[in-house]
Structure 1
Amino acid sequence: MRQLELRHIRAFVCVAQQLHFAHAADELGIAAPSLTRLIQEAERLLGVRLFYRTKRSVALSAAGSAYLSEALVALDHLARAEQHATLAERGELGHIEIGYVASAVYAGVLQTAVGGFRDTHPGVDVSIREVPMDAVAAMLADGQLDAAYIRPPMPLASGIQAATVHRDRFVLALPAASPLAACENVRPAQLRDQCFVLPEQESGTFELARRGRFSPRLGPRPGTLAAVLACVSLGGNVAVVPHTLAGCIALPGVVYRDVTGQPIPSEIALAFRQYERAPAVKAFLRVARATKGQG
């Protein structure tokens, strides 16, 4: 069964607003006879008279008045749908799921990127959540996350890549009562007999031990960096942590000290799908990769 088309509705609304066929035809850019045929087809398909017309006047019928109010709403919805489609195509509308490890917050890189993106893309809903670093690759691959802030190195699945967005260095977190706390800088070899609390990113600990030429004695793996520092404060152990923590977290009984020699590099990277298709996600990645942290 044939139904009314958009061209019929637009023709009807134009005539209803002009109440003059010739003027409406000019506005629509079509010939007056073509407009008349469109209105006649609309009336036939609807089974009602939309206009009362004579040689000198055009007036809406009761059916035409009732239909006009709904037709205007429908056209408004269609106009907004077109606008939304355009915004979505430009990456200005949509939803993004972002994961992060806590140190991305301590460095300020997450706040700067997300805040800047929200300012320039207010139509995109951005959700953020802290995630375990060892779960990031799988969550990106299956779509639970669209991007994630991590501390490399870490293994990434095929199709997932990472770009550095913040450079830092590792430092020591020591119990304030430790004799090593009296040192301005600590040599790696001085840590030979210490027990190390391991954060999620273990590379700093093992690089320090390599430089000190010893195998580290490993203690608890409590998870978050805040929990790592709590273990240092309560348990008398030491930890190798990002320098950004020194300016963000001050716990009773914990002091931070630099390691002698070349700095042990620590980075924050943004992990994402290599062949991302969603325009909103691609727009965020452009902003985030250009964002630097505060450290």
Structure 2
Amino acid sequence: MRQLELRHIHAFVCVARQLHFSRAADELGIAPPSLTKLIQEAERLLGVRLFHRTKRSVALSAAGHAYLAEALVALDHLARGEERALLAERGELGRVEVGYVASAAYAGVLQRSVGGFRAAHPGVDVSIREVPMDTVAAMLGDGQLDAAYVRPPLPLADGIAAVTVHRDRFVLALPADCPLAASAERIKPAQLRDQCFVLPEQEAPTFEVARRGRFTPRLGPRPGTLASVLARVSLGGMVAVVPHTLAECVALPGVVYRDIAGKPIASEIALAYRKYEKAAAVNAFLAFARAG
């Protein structure tokens, strides 16, 4: 069964606005007989008379008045639908799931990228959540996350890539009553030989300190988040190798920070993502985050 088409609705609305077939035909860019045929088809398909026509005048019928209100709403919905489709195509509409490790927030990386992107793309819903670093690759792979701020090195599965977005250095977190904390000098790795180390999620810097000091580190607990690591240090008896950003923004009772002597141990934050991302909103976020 044939149904009313969009061209019929546009023709009807144009005539209803002009109340003159010739002027409406000019506006639509079609011949008056073609417009008349469209209106007649619309009336036949709807089963009502839309206009009262004489040789001198055109007026909406009661059915025409009723249909016009709904037709205008429908056209408005279609126009907004087209606009939203274009916004989605340009990455200005959609949803992005972002994971992060705490140090990305401590360093301000999360705030700059997510906050800046939200301001520039108000139509995109950006959801954030702190995640354990060892789950990131799997969460990206199965679509739970679209992007994640992590600390390299991190094993990446096929199809997952990462780019460095922030560079810093590692420092020592020491209990305030530790003899080493009394020194204002940089702590040499060899001086840490007898210490017990609390391990953050990113354990590589701890082993680098031990390598430079030529000792095998005595390892304590692995509490997970950096906040938990610092809490263990504050209780005394253990030290930790942590990002310098913590020294700048986290002051915990019983914890002092000291630089490590020698060449700085690089501390980086990277943005991990799917290599072959198809979602326009996600690609827009990745481009913004990489540029920042």
TM-score, normalisation: structure 2: 0.99
- Distance across 2 between alignment mates of 1:290 and 1:266: 20
1:266 match: 267
Q: Which amino acid in structure 2 is aligned with residue 95 of structure 1?
A: R
2:203 match: 202
- Distance across 1 between alignment mates of 2:214 and 2:278: 47
1:168 match: 168
- Distance across 2 between alignment mates of 1:253 and 1:131: 27
- Distance across 1 between alignment mates of 2:91 and 2:289: 14
Contact 2:177 2:236 in 1 (8 A): no
1:157 match: 157
Specify the SS of the correspondent of 1:40: helix
Q: Is residue 52 from structure 1 mapped to residue 52 from structure 2 by the alignment?
A: yes
- Distance across 2 between alignment mates of 1:7 and 1:138: 49
Q: Is residue 223 from structure 1 mapped to residue 237 from structure 2 by the alignment?
A: no
Specify the SS of the correspondent of 1:237: coil
1:71 match: 71
TM-score, normalisation: structure 1: 0.98
Specify the SS of the correspondent of 1:117: helix
Q: Which amino acid in structure 1 is aligned with residue 37 of structure 2?
A: R
Q: Is residue 14 from structure 1 mapped to residue 6 from structure 2 by the alignment?
A: no
5 Å-filtered alignment, 1:1-295, equals: 1-183=1-183, 184-291=185-292
Specify the SS of the correspondent of 1:185: coil
- Distance across 1 between alignment mates of 2:10 and 2:142: 44
Instruction: Kindly state the Cα deviation for residue 290 of structure 1 after the two structures are TM-superposed.
Output: 1.5
Q: Calculate percent identity across the aligned residue pairs.
A: 81
Instruction: Kindly state the Cα deviation for residue 118 of structure 1 after the two structures are TM-superposed.
Output: 1.0
Instruction: Kindly state the Cα deviation for residue 236 of structure 1 after the two structures are TM-superposed.
Output: 1.8
Stretch moving more, 282-291 or 2-11: 282-291
> Aligned pairs, how many?
291
Instruction: Kindly state the Cα deviation for residue 178 of structure 1 after the two structures are TM-superposed.
Output: 0.6
Per-residue CA deviation, residues 135-192 of structure 1 (Å, 9 max, x unaligned), is 1001001111110000000101100000000001110000111111122211101111
Per-residue CA deviation, residues 219-269 of structure 1 (Å, 9 max, x unaligned), is 011111011000000142000000000011111111000111100111000
RMSD between superposed Cα atoms in Å: 0.6
Task: Give the ranges of 4+ consecutive aligned residues of structure 1 lying more than 4 Å apart after TM superposition.
Answer: none
Q: Which amino acid in structure 1 is aligned with residue 103 of structure 2?
A: S
Per-residue CA deviation, residues 104-130 of structure 1 (Å, 9 max, x unaligned), is 000001100111111111111111110
